[in-house]
Structure 1
């Protein structure tokens, strides 16, 4: 009977051994790309939010300059002493902020122009209210242009969130324009009242046009802030903003009423208009720091969230890479064990002449056997103990 030789195991090919590692590498490549892309996107968003905070700092410095300039213009038009100290202090603070972050926001050249105009106002005589009104108006226009530059260069104008976008639009554009226009409206009412009767109709037309320019941004401020409160997830925004916003809205309504010609005379009372403009200015002064503080708080919260997202992304990528590395190590170890077993099986197959172990109860091949009588064949175990049994 022929015994078939054992089949030798097939050695796995090189591609078969490397295929699991190639699959793991194919998983690591898109994982690394995903982590890198997410990190860059989150970093860009964080850099934008940090840059927006610089814009908020600059707007905080420009707010006192705007307030002091409007007050100085009103004093010059009404032949009162101009409060130079408040304006000088505000200018110095803004100059320090511009020296610190103006290079990054690209505002140094514009600020230099505004400051030069402000310095030129010191030597202006108060004898001509109309020329003072024109000179202060030119500086106010440059200051509003600087507000727009800060919003653009800091990225506030491109803010991606609805609540912070409405806040920055209100505090960086609409509210400064409303404050400047309200101050001009009150001062122009004083100047028109001093004109001859023949020039009154033209002055009334100027007041009507300036009235629209003052009320339009003021109304936008109210609408923007209410939209920001309605669309925000922050519980503090509404509680902090709504009270000063209501005060400002009432002052704007009063300004709208007193800036319209009276039905009985067809004229505007300059005293009431000036008081309404001053009241609107004071309400805006209370509202502006609240908006800036809330906007900065939202940006800080966003930066903290983006920092957490970045490290969560990195942590998830590291954990996944470690798991895949552990899986690769297991596959490599399993492959090594399989190769060792295959090598041992191949060695045994390639040596067929190795003698098998002998049966201890059978004589070796070729050795003569002891003749035994017929019929007395004994089992090997019984033959060994025969002499012992006979003696017993």
Structure 2
């Protein structure tokens, strides 16, 4: 069975380091937000405010799979990772005296705040793997005090498009809808290396002004907030999405006519090609063109043009990676085709947004010592993949 890159990180790094002598004290976020009522939470700034209740999750949907479980041909089946039947409530935790150390590492009274989320697990594993972190954690250096309340949303992957779409941007939307009076007050702490396009995304999707972004240098400075808003993620477990996810992105997609465009998202630029070699990329894109697909490089489009373009897709295909998470802007029934490694996120998105999935994983290698993640699919499998996608459009 497939193991995702995130699972590899958690399993191989987090659990191994957990057994080591170096430890980091953690405290559950629920223990810090134990106010008995929403009124008390808002008054004391300590508790949980619910935005949407627990709801039934989207049901698992079969997908077209080639390469799963060693089966020789295409199967139309459910993936072995099933979504949860219900999702937890979503909302915001209000906490006091929170230090921001790095994305996903929040500290109160010398303990890391643990919200039992995958993103926090990854942040903790990265902290444990950082040889310098224990000394910085122990020395309790002076933190930079910030008077304005914080809206804390970013975690590991703060520089990656897909993480913003799937994890961080919906958190901003939850807080903005739940706590509108604070929109003019709060600041959003982001590492200094966060790309400028994140500011564009926050402005376009959630009307977050650029002067609300507070840049800091993780590992060199810590921020201390007397008041902090920490929204939940918009999913439970391993990416079983709350129905609000679809509602939010539906509000951003422009009204347009029938979705008829066949789009192939290319990773063909020099910088994008190096870290994930795909020996047959030219053949893949050539054959996609022959079947009526437009080759799109998302990074060459403005944010507004990306959203409009993706909303017009009847089919969206490409290599494994963040770009395919742009499917959140596409409508129900869109065929999403992924060649190469993938994880449960894309399939869970397909279920939440009622989209069809086609996945080719045969001939794809996970990274290993001295070897990057790569795709080396046969020409026959690539043609079969494209034929399977187009068959769903006829």
Structure with higher RCO (Cα < 8 A, 6+ apart) = 1
Which of the five TM-score ranges fits, normalised by the shorter chain?
A: under 0.3
Name which one, 1 or 2, has greater alpha-carbon Rg: 1
TM-score by length of 2: 0.22
